[in-house]
Amino acid sequence: MFSFRTTPLDQQQDLVLSRGRLAVLCNQSAWNPEKGEYLFETLYRTGKLEKVFYLSDGIFGEKIPSYAPLGMEGCRFLPLDEHELEGIDALIIEYQDTGTRYDSFTLRLFDLFQYIHDNKLEISLYILDRENPCGRQVEGTISGVAHRHGLTLGELANLFYSEIGARFPLHIISYMVRSATQYMMPWSIPPYEDYPGLFTSNFICGMKLFTGTNISYGEGTTRPYECFGAPFLDEIVASNDLQALGDPGVFMRRTTFVPKYGLYAGQTCWGFHLLPRPGVPYHSVAHALRILRFIKERAPLADTSWFGALAVDEKMSEFVEGNLSWEDLKEHIKVEEQKWMRKAKRYMLYDEQLSRVKTLV
- Distance (Å, whole) CA 237 – CA 252: 11
Mean per-residue pLDDT of the chain: 92
pLDDT at 69: 47
pLDDT tens, 275-320? Answer: 999 999 999 999 999 999 999 999 999 999 999 998 999 999 999 9
Q: Higher confidence at residue 239 or residue 197?
A: 239
What is the chain's alpha carbon radius of gyration, rounded to the nearest angstrom? 22
Q: 51 forms bridges with which residues in the sheet? A: 23, 76
The verdict on pTM exceeding 0.75 is: yes
Average pLDDT over residues 260-279: 95
As a whole number, mean pLDDT of residues 108-132 equals: 95
**CA dihedral sign, ordered 189, 192, 197, 198:** negative
Provide the pLDDT confidence category of residue 68 given band limits of 50, 70 and 90.
very low
Per-residue pLDDT, 70: 64
Report d(CA 7, CA 158) in Å as an integer: 18
| Domains of the chain (ranges, CATH numbers) | 2-182 (3.40.50.12170), 200-324 (3.90.1150.140)
CA atoms within 13 A on the CB side of 231: 8
The SS3 call for residue 316 is helix
359 vs 315, residue with greater confidence: 315
Q: Once rounded to an integer, what is the mean pLDDT over residues 130-148?
A: 94
User: What local confidence, expressed as pLDDT, does residue 224 receive?
Assistant: 96
Question: Please, are residues 222 and 196 in contact by the beta-carbon 8 Å criterion?
Answer: yes
